[in-house]
Amino acid sequence: MAFARAHAEIMSKRDYYDVLGVDRSAAEPDIKKAYRRIAMKYHPDRNPDDADADAKFKEATEAYEILSDGEKRGAYDQFGHAGVDPAMGGGGFQGGSFSDIFGDVFGDIFGGGGGGGRRQGPQRGSDLRYTLEVALEEAVRGSTAEIRVPSLQHCEPCDGSGAKPGSRPVTCGSCGGSGQVRTQQGFFQVQQTCPTCRGRGQTISDPCVECRGQGLVEKTKTLSVKVPPGVDTGDRIRLSGEGEAGPAGGPTGDLFVQIAVRQHPLFERDGRHLYCEVPISFADAALGGELEVPTLDGRVKLKIPSETQTGKMFRLRGKGVKPVRGGPVGDLLCRAVLETPVNLTQEQRTLLEEFRGALQEGGEQQSPRQSSWFEGVKNFFDGMTG
């Protein structure tokens, strides 16, 4: 039944490439850029109380985790969701493969496969994921953050064995310690997980009162995470051995810290470059001037040439981001946005009226774009009537 439920869940999932809106041949930078765009749009901070946005954010994060990992992406390309879903024996965080599940299934029926009737080793604990939100400045310069992570850890009184201190687990009498039992059904010999010890190969007659024989207890631990300079939304930091402890004393999984950069009030990041809009007055745009613009390193002077049009981009080299994986520092690109004056006094209105009249006398020479646009409109309507 569990296999059937897992299969049904997998069949209902969307294709990871469709989720991110990329081709199957997309390179890793394209996948990362697509994920960053979706994550920024549907991030829970920007869509509070929006369950649909939260679901899309999680769906995109899941797709990125698989497609950004070469091994997992290969398994997904070959076998689909079943190749990477832990519930189906796929890779996912558990490190399995699609072939594992079929080896186990046919091994149970015919007595062969991966199990082979031998007792399996201690099971590795689950990997965990933690989303760490950082400010743009922290992502660019690097920082250290403390996080609190709830997880299952080995019970200290019984040292993860599940048996009461002073006692210990004993070999299961039903399976002889193999964790598997075989039964005959017609012509077939069926191998199944031992119902007595549930595959552990051992039973506990006197369980630990702290963990009730599970060997694991839920704890919250505080960890210090070093965020390297240049990280971006979608990057992951791996903390080995900080995941959940494995049952029956098994090894501990890993913790993956997923970076999510918060939206900045002034800057927008695209890879190694930063973008910002700089409002300029009508007078500065026409006559030229000098403005102070912000950068992550402080204020700098930006020279505005005369006759600047809205939308003009000014590039400040080396004022962007140094990528976490190396490469040159990006640039800061400032887009000029012409601000129309408001709350004019009567004197200002009179002066602008006079100025408008003077511009109209100048005609095409002083407003070439406007004259060209009106000429295009005239030709368009002439073509319709003709």
Q: Which domains does the chain have, with CATH numbers?
A: 1-116 (1.10.287.110), 124-168+206-263 (2.60.260.20), 170-203 (no CATH), 279-339 (2.60.260.20), 343-370 (no CATH)
pLDDT (0 to 100) of residue 121: 55
CA dist list (Å): 140 to 250, 333, 373: 38, 16, 43
Q: Give the mean pLDDT of 77-101.
A: 52
- On the question of pLDDT at 138 being above 90, the answer is yes
Q: What is the mean pLDDT of the chain?
A: 80
**Both structure tokens of 144:** 């250290």
**What's the CA angle centered on 306, arms 303 and 309, to 5 degrees?**
95
- On the question of pLDDT at 283 being above 70, the answer is yes
Q: Of 26, 18, 54, 24, which Cα lies nearest the Cα of 39?
A: 54
Three-state DSSP at 369 gives helix
DSSP state of 80: G
pLDDT digits (tens, 9 = 90+) for 181-202: 887 665 666 778 888 877 777 8
pLDDT (0 to 100) of residue 6: 45
- The fraction of the chain above a pLDDT of 70, given in percent, is 80
pLDDT (0 to 100) of residue 239: 93
- Name residue 228's amino acid: P
